[in-house]
Structure 1
Amino acid sequence: MLIEQIPLENGCALCLRFEMQKYPLLVIRAEKGFLMCGYLNVSAAETLGDTAAKVKGVQSFEDMLKAPVVEVTKFAEELGIEVGITGREALEKMF
C-alpha cells in the first residue's frame, strides 16, 4: 500500500493506493469526504452517509485529479459537487 499527501488549494489530501491484480485501487481523502476510483461503489458510500465522488479510468493520483467526476453521493451534491467537474475541483469542495 502506498500512502501520500497532496497539497491542494484548500487543504492537504491523504492519498491511498492499493495494488490489485491489474489496476490500482485509489482513494484520495479530504476533510469532508473522498474521491474514489472505479473499484469502489457510490451507493455503498451513500448508504453509509459518506460524502464521495467517483472518477473512472484512472491509474494514478494525478489521473484522479484531472478526470471528470462520473457519480456522486447526495452528501457530495450538498457541497456543490456535481458530475462533470474534475476530481481536483471535487476535492477542493471537500475541505
Structure 2
Amino acid sequence: MVSLTPVDIEGFTFLAISVELPKTTLLVVTSERGYIMCGALDVGLLNERLKDRKILAGRAVGVKTIDELLEAPLESVTHEALDAGITPGMLGKDALLLML
C-alpha cells in the first residue's frame, strides 16, 4: 500500500509518502527542493554516482513512522544538504524547513 499525506511543520506543508513493502516500510517526507527518508536512502550513492544531480536529502535510521522520521536526528546528509546548512544530528523536521 502507498499513502500520501500532507504534513504541516510551522505552517509549511510537506508531503509524507509511505510505501509498505514485505518486511519494511519506506518513509519519505518531501518539499519541492529536497527530502528526508528512512534508512533505505543511500546517501553515498547520491553523493558519488549522482553528484551531478545535486540532490538535497537526509537520512534517518531506525524509524518506523513518519512522526519518528520527523523527530529523528539525521544520520547522514548529501553534500548539497550540507551546503544548505543541514547537518547530521539535525532533526528531520528542522532539515525540511531548510529545504523550502
TM-score (norm 2): 0.88
Show the counterpart of 1:41: 42
After TM superposition, give the deviation of residue 31 of structure 1 in Å: 2.4
- Summarize the alignment of residues 1-95 of structure 1 with structure 2, pairs less than 5 Å apart: 1-9=2-10, 11-46=12-47, 47=50, 48-95=53-100
Q: State the Cα RMSD in Å.
A: 1.2
Change beyond 3 A, Cα 1:18–1:12 = same
The structure with the largest alpha-carbon Rg is: 2
Query: 5+ unaligned residues in a row in structure 1: which ranges?
Result: none
Runs of 4+ displaced beyond 2 Å: 43-46
Query: 5+ unaligned residues in a row in structure 2: which ranges?
Result: none
After TM superposition, give the deviation of residue 8 of structure 1 in Å: 1.1
TM-score (norm 1): 0.92
For residues 4-38 of structure 1, what are the alpha-carbon distances to aligned partners after superposition, in whole Å with 9 as ceiling and x for unaligned? 01011262111110001112001110121000111
Quick one: percent identity of the two aligned structures?
32
